[in-house]
Amino acid sequence: MADSFDAINVVYGWLKAGRVKAYKDKAPVSETSDMFAVIVCPVEVNFQVLTSVPININIYHKKNENGMISRSEMKTVKDKVNQLIKSGTLPNYLFDLSQRQSYIDTTYSDRYDIMVNRYDITVTAD
């Protein structure tokens, strides 16, 4: 079994390997890219060994000047992230992954719309 740090590190590695700009836990205040992802563990489970770890992959997409959401671009990125996660591997580890929910938050940031994707991931050392 692994803890939340391991799960975040594994998912981060998968996204980076797929050339998705990603951060662990929080993006820098100075971030201005059109799109990036932040991987977080939404509950306080640090330093615990768990059978399943909840992971959020928050996809930040810069707001359009007209205020509309770029739904097609967000869906494209979400599909890419899902594909990377479902095909992700790491030597000496086994994974079980299920998606619990996905929603768009347009109120959190003045600069970005955020697509929140919540997964449960079980990381087991082989």
pLDDT tens digits for 42-91?
A: 665 544 555 677 888 898 988 888 878 888 888 888 888 888 877 877 76
Query: Model's pTM, two decimal places?
Result: 0.79
pLDDT tens digits for 15-39?
A: 888 888 999 988 888 888 888 888 8
| Residue 125 or residue 70, greater confidence | 70
> What DSSP letter does each residue of 41-109 carry, written as one string?
-SS--TT--BS-EEEEEEEEEEPPTTS---HHHHHHHHHHHHHHHHT---TTEEEEEEEEEEEEESSS-
Domain that holds residue 37: 4-125
Q: Residue 41 and residue 119: Cα distance in Å, rounded?
A: 10
Q: What is the per-residue pLDDT for 18? A: 86
Q: Which residues contact 96 (CB under 8 A, 6 or more apart)?
A: 52, 121, 122, 124
Q: What is the CATH number of the domain that holds 103?
A: 3.30.2000.30
Dig out the tokens for 98 from the structure: 């299920």
Overall number of domains in the chain: 1
